[in-house]
Structure 1
Amino acid sequence: MDIFAFRLRGLSLAALTLTVTLFIDEDQYDLWLCCFIISTVDGMIVTSALIIWKALMCITGSESPVVVVLSGSMEPGFKRGDILFLHMSKDPIRAGEIVVFNVDGREIPIVHRVIKVHEREDTGEVDVLTKGDNNYGDDRLLYAHGQLWLQRHHIMGRAVGFLPYVGWVTIIMTEKPIIKVCLLCQSIVFM
């Protein structure tokens, strides 16, 4: 079955090549073949990246297994531009752990340390209070209006590893949109 499928793919590529050679001359064929190969490799890279991202989501249990530190609130431990790897387990959250959480009304997740954990005796649910290592006070001012604690559904994951400075690419493209436009134009030109 695999050999048959391989032959079919080979035949379809041969038919495509024959069709292209009928309509363009030999010099243009080399250029077309080069562009075709580059486009195919680009598509494979994008597809592979998406597959890896989805696999990481399944393995880590986190909706966002990788995040970039966007501010200096966690210095000196994590600096702006560091990439954090997250994992979301069923283990109880403890004071001292670094978590990434979403707050209602904010788009960007926040990376801070858990400073207090309060378990409700009646339901067993856990409330968490966080603070940036480089901040003076806790995060209650960052939480949604009237919210004093985070619940488990706010937490995206725990930091389990990091790569220093690698996230600067993301920060630069977010803060300087002209660079993103230039990179997109360059990729279109070379496709």
Structure 2
Amino acid sequence: MRGARVLLQAQAIALSLASTFMIYTALGLLTNCKSPVVVVLSGSMEPGIYRGDLLFLSNNMPQNYVTGDITVYQVAGEAIQIVHRVVETHNGPEASSHLFLTKGDNNDIDDVSLYQGLERLERKHVIGRVRGIIPLVGYVTIFFNELPRLRNHILRP
């Protein structure tokens, strides 16, 4: 009897995880984002966006990013996605290309030093534009990432 109960609980957990994955994948397809939902990991966008806020993104084409847009970008070779505001846009070398300069609202300087040698971000680096925010919900993710011993203990008792 106990073995059947454990099996049913494991099945419920598996179905819950599969449903979450399917919803996340569907969101990615609908929004054209590889990461349609992200957690803010730093305070560089305070006071508008705080560490632990959950952000919803979209990257629907054609999408022109303009000065003032809050974007999430990732430069090749970097593991971390960065949430910052577009402070300048420029036309690129090709007629249809745009280049961006970003900066955190709470930072004194722009992000050029984060671009891995690039002078400006290209469209391909931008994951999406922030469309919605749920405050502080992402702290669960931050909590588990910053306490790996706890994460390992819970996931592997």
When normalised by structure 2's length, the TM-score is 0.95
Q: Which has the higher helix share?
A: 1
Letter in 1 for 2:139: W
Matching residue of 2:125? 154
Name which of 23, 26, 33 aligns with 1:62. 33
Matched pairs, number = 156
Q: Does 1:47 align with 2:18?
A: yes
CA distance in 1, matches of 2:96, 2:16: 45
The Cα shift of 1:39 comes to 1.3
The Cα shift of 1:182 comes to 2.2
Structure 1 stretches of 5 or more lacking a match?
1-29, 187-191
The Cα shift of 1:142 comes to 0.9
Name which of 51, 72, 81 aligns with 1:100. 72
RMSD: 1.2
CA distance in 2, matches of 1:169, 1:102: 22
Letter in 2 for 1:178: R
Letter in 2 for 1:168: Y
Q: Does 1:136 align with 2:108?
A: yes
Matching residue of 1:173? 144
CA distance in 2, matches of 1:107, 1:87: 20
Quickly say closer, same or farther: Cα 1:158–1:33, change in 2 above 3 A: same
Aligned to 1:77, the other structure's residue is in SS state coil
The Cα shift of 1:42 comes to 1.1
Greater than 3 Å deviation, 4+ residue runs: none
CA distance in 1, matches of 2:89, 2:107: 19
Aligned to 1:52, the other structure's residue is in SS state helix
Letter in 1 for 2:153: C
When normalised by structure 1's length, the TM-score is 0.79
Q: What is the correspondence of 1:69-80 to structure 2 with a 5 Å cutoff?
A: 69-80=40-51
Q: Which has the higher strand share?
A: 2
Quickly say closer, same or farther: Cα 1:114–1:33, change in 2 above 3 A: same
Aligned to 2:71, the other structure's residue is in SS state strand
Quickly say closer, same or farther: Cα 1:177–1:113, change in 2 above 3 A: same
Larger radius of gyration: 1
